[in-house]
Amino acid sequence: MNNPVTANGRAYAWPQHPTVVICVDGCEPAYIEQAIAAGLMPNLKAMLARGTDLRADCVVPSFTNPNNLSIVTGVPPAVHGICGNYFIDPASGEEVMMNDPTFLRCGTLLAAFAAAGARIAIVTAKDKLRTLLGHGLPMDSGRVVCFSSEKADRTSVAEHGIADALGFVGLPLPSVYSAELSEFVFAAGCRLLESAPWDLMYLSTSDYIQHKHAPGTPVANAFYAMMDGYLGRLDALGATIAITADHGMKPKHDDAGRPNVVYLQPLLDEWVGADHCRVVLPITDPYVVHHGALGSFAVIHLTSLGDTSMVAARLRLVTGVNEVLERDEACVRFGLPPDREGELIVISESDWTLGTRPDRHDLSQLKEPLRSHGGTSEQRVPLLLNRRSEAPPADRKPRNFDAFSLALNRRLD
Amino acid sequence: MNNPVTANGRAYAWPQHPTVVICVDGCEPAYIEQAIAAGLMPNLKAMLARGTDLRADCVVPSFTNPNNLSIVTGVPPAVHGICGNYFIDPASGEEVMMNDPTFLRCGTLLAAFAAAGARIAIVTAKDKLRTLLGHGLPMDSGRVVCFSSEKADRTSVAEHGIADALGFVGLPLPSVYSAELSEFVFAAGCRLLESAPWDLMYLSTSDYIQHKHAPGTPVANAFYAMMDGYLGRLDALGATIAITADHGMKPKHDDAGRPNVVYLQPLLDEWVGADHCRVVLPITDPYVVHHGALGSFAVIHLTSLGDTSMVAARLRLVTGVNEVLERDEACVRFGLPPDREGELIVISESDWTLGTRPDRHDLSQLKEPLRSHGGTSEQRVPLLLNRRSEAPPADRKPRNFDAFSLALNRRLD
């Protein structure tokens, strides 16, 4: 039996069974709870009855990239460096996507296992995550695959460890805005595990459905019923399966279905002058159809530090604003890298979002009342395992980035 | 026309119509939203169509006494001093109820109006609030009444400004644990306004129904439909009516209906020793049947200040704990009196509560899955007015203790 593998200061037992960690994007716990209550997830229900059914806190900002990277590194963004989808690069002063591995400050536990000889498979829904998640993996080793549903038709052995992933999975290439994009991830995971003895697998879906459909509604229930079929197949293959989420999802609209938005830039322009402040929304990415770049977390950069406490005090009085934290306080509380944040962090109330200015948000594509994430109100996520594990001590709050530790060590180390 | 009246630094216009402020105990906004959506509050719906429909923040801790006192003084507990139902009196070191006017540090706006010659009527559901709310009123003036539903059968002109309130209202004396306790408040308000030209009226109900029944459920909807009938009567009498709440209400149980409780005292006993810490739950009062003294806010007193940051750090890791604040930070953020708080303030997550130790909470009387309040998750409340008012500026978050200001001044001063 192989030795434990250490990554970023945490030790992970060598997998005794194929171990699959699934990050269900935007999986507010109520989605699973209501689908089980409706009798639509019989496989998961049976797995939990003999397994582990916890709730965990995700990383704040409750966005996709910071949380996926925390799950595969086992540490918060203060260590791995990915604190948003989007930020102001202090080196250049430019607003850039944070999806390049140059921004990553530590290795992943998947790369550490691969270096120790493990077989590793990663499938993501959107391609934006693939290069970050696959960072440091020996793609040419024959022991690693890493590809996305979105670009499954363009894989190569050199870059993805697999030629023609699309043909291998055997489903049509899904639209990037569809439930099928996530179904393709599950289908790929099952096909992979049916075809080879992978040691570790990481499957990460898209929250397209969750942004549009509330827990317990027909489309959401159908999504989770679909997922349950694949969970049953993975379970029958003998896999250890851990399920968590990158973040939850909450309604962000008024009774009439209009989005609740605090537009921050006009307020700041009035208070300190347009040249002295910049609002950055780390939810921003190329895929904004389902949320219009409106989330519950904003970063404010101020050129004059003397403005900080005045701006904070005024923002706290704005309807829809829940918390305004100065950089150091926010970084300690949420485990964020101070050099990649602004002077102030703003978190909206559960049913509100934060925008820059109205003309920078295209809400014309929002067909349903806005649902989104980013704040502390979307921090609670499932942490499920199809095997029994030790109960955590009282003062050890489970985190979503304990998923690999829980699956491999059967306790929260 | 009379001059404005000033109380605690805020100016209030003299009422142009009889002005009724209603504090609906435990009125999470969804209760009203869902009752209106179900067509059960036609009077309120019509009033809002021509009036003002805001959401406001209540005082944290989101308990009855601090918020009722804020509403009738127009200021936070840092000014009026009532920061819970229950606290450790620093003068004696004893745990005492904070329902004696000796703990009140300022006068009410109702007393200020009474001193200026206004006619004032106050009706509360439970008697515990009556002496605080009626403090400073000239009960023997013939211009003031102040009584509770609970003890409406024991009123006197000398103490309550009215003999035989029970006979005057004409309903049977309600049980203290009933919807009728609150209905009696509304019925009394209508009878009073039908019988005399009151200038200001304050009606404060009980949250017995809200502790047991979620928004939109049949019993809750019936309660709000009942309320709507009385609102229609008050409106038809020409009253200006403001409606707010002392706090919201949230479910605090797991999927199986068991209460989610962090018992703090055993943890603290282990960490610092039983003689060095005391957990105080300011929700505690003599009426605990419907919540078992379990709420989302706790105060921790430590005898050794050197323990403070260690205890705070460990508590932050406990499942169910949302925030742990040191005294000064909490008092600034929530407007609390530092000399009446402990070293640490703990706020639970939305679906959790904080207890002392299991043997100090009698949960045998809880017939329904626990619903409670006390934390920031119950801070959002309605702030409604049956007349148009000026829209508040962006950086002026409405508070429930703006209710009299909104009703009299038609704007948030």
Percent of chain A beyond pLDDT 70? Answer: 99
Residue A91 — pLDDT band, cuts 50, 70, 90? confident
Taking only the tens place, the pLDDT of each residue in B54-87 is 999 999 999 999 999 999 999 999 999 999 988 8
The rounded distance, in Å, linking the Cα atoms of B53 and B47 is 9
CB contact under 8 A, A396 and B314: no
Chain B residues lying within 8 Å of A402, measured CB to CB:
none
Residue A155 — pLDDT band, cuts 50, 70, 90? very high
Cβ distance B58 to B67 under 8 Å? yes
Residue with token string 């393709």 = A184
Query: Which is nearest to A296 in space by CA: A341, A254, A249, A335?
Result: A249
* Average pLDDT of the residues of chain A: 95
Cβ distance B139 to B160 under 8 Å? yes
Cβ distance A244 to A261 under 8 Å? no
Strand ranges in B297-387 using DSSP code E only, listed in sequence order: 297-302, 321-326, 344-348, 353-355, 371-372, 380-385
- Looking at residue B284, what is its pLDDT? 82
Cβ distance A145 to A122 under 8 Å? yes
- Looking at residue A85, what is its pLDDT? 85
Asked if the model's pLDDT at residue B345 lies above 80, the reply is yes
Cis bond before residue A61 (omega within 30° of 0): yes
- Looking at residue A118, what is its pLDDT? 97
- Looking at residue A1, what is its pLDDT? 57
Distance to chain A for B19, nearest Cα, Å:
26
Quick one: average pLDDT of A174-199?
96
Chain B residues lying within 8 Å of A322, measured CB to CB:
376
CB contact under 8 A, B395 and A55: no
The rounded distance, in Å, linking the Cα atoms of A312 and B369 is 39
The CA-CA-CA angle for residues B360, B361, B366, to 5°, reads 165
Who among A322, A349, A395 is closest to B317 (CB)? A395
Tally of CB atoms within 10 A around A17: 15
CB contact under 8 A, B394 and A315: no
Q: What is the DSSP letter of B175?
A: P
For A196-205, A327-336, A355-364, which range has the lowest pLDDT when averaged over its residues? A355-364
For residue B327 the two structure tokens come to 């005294």
Quick one: average pLDDT of A206-228?
97
The rounded distance, in Å, linking the Cα atoms of A269 and A162 is 51
Sheet holding B200-204, edge to edge: B52-57, B380-385, B240-244, B19-23, B200-204, B120-124, B144-148
Q: Which residues contact A407 (CB under 8 A, 6 or more apart)?
A: A19, A21, A240, A241, A242, A385
Label the pairing between strands B86-88 and B95-97: antiparallel
- Looking at residue A285, what is its pLDDT? 74
Cβ distance A62 to A297 under 8 Å? yes
- Looking at residue A44, what is its pLDDT? 98
The rounded distance, in Å, linking the Cα atoms of A52 and A412 is 12
Taking only the tens place, the pLDDT of each residue in B254-309 is 988 999 999 999 999 999 998 899 999 998 876 666 678 899 999 999 998 889 99
The CATH code of the domain at A261-372 is 3.30.1360.110
Quick one: average pLDDT of A151-157?
97
| Residue B354 backbone phi and psi in degrees, to 5 | -120, 130
Strand ranges in B221-308 using DSSP code E only, listed in sequence order: 240-244, 250-251, 261-263, 277-280, 297-302
3-state secondary structure of B8: coil
The CATH code of the domain at B5-249+374-409 is 3.40.720.10
List % helix, strand, coil for chain B (3-state, nearest 5). 35, 20, 40
Which H helix or E strand runs over A120? strand A120-124
Quick one: average pLDDT of A197-209?
97
CATH topology of domain B261-371: Gyrase A; domain 2 (3.30.1360)
The rounded distance, in Å, linking the Cα atoms of A85 and B313 is 29
Query: Which is nearest to A79 in space by CA: A382, A408, A404, A334?
Result: A334
Kindly indicate whether the ipTM for this predicted assembly is greater than 0.85, answering yes or no: no
For residue A381 the two structure tokens come to 């996520």
The rounded distance, in Å, linking the Cα atoms of A88 and B74 is 43
Residue A128 — pLDDT band, cuts 50, 70, 90? confident
Chain A residues lying within 8 Å of B37, measured CB to CB:
255
Quick one: average pLDDT of A269-291?
85
The rounded distance, in Å, linking the Cα atoms of B401 and B67 is 8
- Looking at residue B1, what is its pLDDT? 57
Chain B residues lying within 8 Å of A393, measured CB to CB:
none
Taking only the tens place, the pLDDT of each residue in B1-41 is 579 999 999 999 999 999 999 999 999 999 999 999 999 99
Burial of B93 (0-12, 13-18, 19+ CB in 10 A): exposed
| Residue B299 backbone phi and psi in degrees, to 5 | -115, 135
Collect all residues from B whose CB is shorter than 8 A from any CB in A.
33, 37, 55, 255, 262, 267, 314-319, 321-322, 349, 376, 380, 392, 394-398
For residue B143 the two structure tokens come to 């211009």
Taking only the tens place, the pLDDT of each residue in B131-156 is 999 999 999 899 999 999 999 999 99
Domain boundaries, chain B: 5-249+374-409, 261-371
- Looking at residue B260, what is its pLDDT? 96
What is the DSSP secondary-structure string of B107-142? Answer: --HHHHHHHTT--EEEEESSGGGHHHHTTT--GGGS
- Looking at residue B362, what is its pLDDT? 85
Quick one: average pLDDT of A383-409?
95
Where are the alpha helices (H) located in A335-377, listed in sequence order?
A: none
- Looking at residue B156, what is its pLDDT? 96
Taking only the tens place, the pLDDT of each residue in B209-250 is 999 999 999 999 999 999 999 999 999 999 999 999 999 999
How many residues are recorded in chain A?
413
* Average pLDDT of the residues of chain B: 95
- Looking at residue B289, what is its pLDDT? 64
Asked if the model's pLDDT at residue A123 lies above 80, the reply is yes
Residue type, B189: G
Q: Which of residues B222 and A2 earns the better pLDDT score?
A: B222
Taking only the tens place, the pLDDT of each residue in A7-35 is 999 999 999 999 999 999 999 999 999 99
For residue B18 the two structure tokens come to 């009889």
Strand ranges in B304-348 using DSSP code E only, listed in sequence order: 321-326, 344-348
- Looking at residue B327, what is its pLDDT? 95
| Residue B73 backbone phi and psi in degrees, to 5 | -110, -20
Query: Which is nearest to A381 in space by CA: A82, A40, A70, A26?
Result: A26
Distance to chain B for A92, nearest Cα, Å:
33
Asked if the model's pLDDT at residue A289 lies above 70, the reply is no
Chain B residues lying within 8 Å of A394, measured CB to CB:
262, 267, 318-319
CB contact under 8 A, B321 and A397: yes
For residue B265 the two structure tokens come to 């005292």
Residue B366 — pLDDT band, cuts 50, 70, 90? confident
Taking only the tens place, the pLDDT of each residue in A291-302 is 788 999 999 999
Integer CA distances (angstroms), A377 to A352, B53, B213, B370, in order: 10, 24, 23, 21
Asked if the model's pLDDT at residue A382 lies above 80, the reply is yes
Asked if the model's pLDDT at residue B364 lies above 90, the reply is no
